[in-house]
Structure 1
Amino acid sequence: MTTVINRQRNGRSSFSQWANKHRKWVLAAPAMLFVALLIAFPVGWTLYLSFTDASGSVRAPADFIGLENYASVLTDTDRFWPAVGRTVLFTGGALLFEMILGMCIALLLWRPFRGEKWVRIAILLPLVATPVAVGMMWRLIFDPQMGFANQLLSWFGLPPQPWLSGQESALTTLIFVDIWQWTPMVVLILLAGLTSLSDEPDEASRVDGANAWQRFWYITFPLVMPTFITAILLRGIDALKTFDILYATKGKGGGSFNEVETLNVYAYGLSFDYNKYGQSSTVLILFFMMIIGCIWLLTARKKRSES
């Protein structure tokens, strides 16, 4: 009896020692498991649907058809590949200007100045509104008949523009709207990275006679590069999956001629407008793989910059 009790005590002691040694994993395990299940089930179910001909009703029986959906989607040059191009163009255009403007504004806010608090509050105002509200607001501003944008052009003697109603200008206009709303988020991230930097390298470069551009390009920017890549990663993923602004301003199909139809809008239309759940799931899986690839590339670049 004493031997059994001693073994139980030794077992509890060894488990306590192991748990104490790996306490950060033990304490985080329930939350990690819960998040993993939340991610694994939707992705797994979507992957399963992508191999079926599910359509019509969510309760209708679906047959396994293998890679037919993937072959059909990947050979669709009318809707899928143009949607891929618009997704890349929207994300790349918005991200490029947001990173440049975000860095410039963050550098201006880096050093203390009078009224700094009020300027920061004003810059962060676009983040307060929801994307749908922002989309509706800019839809009114860019209205060809009564919008303020064309009225402003008329004051300078310029002809009115179609803005959101034009096939060529709609996507560019929405890129501008995205830049207006989400540049403040980039500013916050980069400003946090800049404020964490030491002043010694900058002061040493001043002593050596470096001008402002040389100090930024050779001192500040390399030091803030990990934060810069983090901002690209966070904002890039968010821009890739933009849906609400596009749908709020252009409606179904990204407009009458699909002029702003990205992969998100395309997948939404397949699922909720045409009830083609199998093809919609295929588009979402391909889109998911694209996002994972972008994350992998940016994470690898960040590790190289930190090493």
Structure 2
Amino acid sequence: MSVLSPPRNAQSQPPSGRNSTRSARENFSAWANRHRKWLFAAPAMIFVGVLIVFPLAWTLYLSLTDSQGSVRAAAEFVGLENYVTVLSDVERFWPAVGRTLSFTGVALVCEVVLGMCIALLLWRPFRGEKWVRVAILLPLVATPVAVGMMWRLIFDPNIGFVNQLLGMVGIPPQPWLSGQDTALGTTIFMDVWQWTPMVVLILLAGLTSLSEEPDEAARMDGANAFQRFFLITLPLMMPTVIVAILLRGIDALKTFDILYATKGKGGGSFHEVETLNVYAYGLSFDYNQYGLSSAVLILFFMIIIGSMWLLTMRKKAVSK
């Protein structure tokens, strides 16, 4: 053996630094593999979190100041004064709360009931099924502003198609959007017309995922269609129904564009369709009362979060 050649043991052992680096890489790879779903979703979650947290924090700050005229103008800290002012406003704020809840509740009930009926009709295959589904989904293609302007022309008291049709059967013209008692109901009809197809899609997806065995067993036991629906299909569909209520209910609470497109500032001359969104918009952009409008938005945000929490708890109770 040459005196210059290294020992055999030294040649067979890798450097300790390289071994530790390889071990660290393997440990990181194993950790990343175990948490890959969170790692892939982390960038989007951080981005969405920043988009939500910053505007919410800024709105909360403005709600505690007397900011008005311009958001860059000097504002003094007033604490909960804006909240006290808003909550004591019985002429605009509380009626707006009532209209918001009425609009959401009535629209949601109509959309879920109609959506379930249409989904049941589309559940079983029939001739022309594809064309019917395309026709039902057409209202979702248009924007809410376009839908509002379209129905505004249709319900026009003078040239509207609806009053002309009523006149053919001897019914006098109705004010529809211009009437204090009919404006809110008319806007609810517009919302139901546009967003019922979305509920149909959700419920139809739930129906197609159901097993046919319980329904066939009930049919063999002599149960009629109503008994099979209320005792078998509907209980099995409740988690899906609550998901549809949750998604559509939150969206209905935030409705603004179709109301503003049809009635304009203040929800009409007598604030007949003024919801919390329209009320907050008027405070901000019509009167430049940013502190008060921010307080309204924070209270509105709390209502939405409370509604989401109640529906989520209900969904968990039904799923058990």
TM score, norm. by length of structure 1: 0.98
Residue 27 (structure 2) pairs with residue 17 (structure 1): no
The Cα shift of 1:12 comes to 2.9
Q: Which moved more, 1:152-161 or 1:20-29?
A: 20-29
Q: Distance in 1 between matches of 2:56 and 2:178?
A: 36
Unaligned runs of 5+ residues in structure 1 are none
User: Higher mean Cα deviation, 155-164 or 14-23?
Assistant: 14-23
Asked if residue 86 in structure 1 is aligned to residue 76 in structure 2, the reply is no
Tell me the CA shift for residue 10 of structure 1.
3.0
Name the counterpart of 1:254: 267
Tell me the distance in 2 between the aligned counterparts of 1:5 and 1:48: 53
1:202 and 1:28 map into 2 onto residues whose CA distance is 39
Q: How far apart, in 2, do the equivalents of 1:116 and 1:14 lie?
A: 54
Q: Secondary structure of 1:253's match?
A: helix
Task: Tell me what 2:63 maps to.
Answer: 50
Letter in 1 for 2:138: L
Distance of 1:302 and 1:48 partners within structure 2: 34
Residue 210 of structure 2 aligns with which residue?
197
- Shift in Å, 1:63: 1.1
- Equivalent position amino acid for 2:315 in 1: K
* Counterpart secondary structure, 1:275: coil
Partner of 1:273: 286
Match of 2:227 in 1: 214
Amino acid of the residue matched to residue 33 of structure 1? I
Question: How far 1:11 sits from its partner (Å)?
Answer: 2.9
Three-state SS of the structure 2 residue aligned to 1:259 is coil
| C-alpha distance in 2 between matches for 1:65 and 1:168 | 38
1:179 partner amino acid: V
Query: Which of 125, 137, 159 matches 1:112?
Result: 125
Query: Greater Rg, structure 1 or structure 2?
Result: 2
AA aligned to 2:152 is R
Partner of residue 319, structure 2: 306
Output the TM-score relative to the length of structure 2: 0.94
What do residues 26-77 of structure 1 show as CA deviations (whole Å, max 9, x unaligned)? 2211111111111111111111111111110121011111100111111110
Q: 2:251 corresponds to which residue?
A: 238
Measured in 1, the distance between the counterparts of 2:69 and 2:44 equals 37
**Identity within the alignment, %:** 76
Q: Which runs of 5+ in 2 are unaligned?
A: 1-13
- Match in the other structure for 1:185: 198
What per-residue deviation string (whole Å, max 9, x for no partner) do you get for residues 130-156 of structure 1? 100110011011111111111111111
Q: Structure 1 residue 136 and structure 2 residue 149: aligned?
A: yes
Aligned residue identity for 1:247: Y
1:288 lines up with 2:301 in the alignment: yes
Please give the alpha-carbon distance, in whole angstroms, between the structure 1 residues aligned to 2:39 and 2:264: 47
Q: CA deviation at 1:4?
A: 4.5
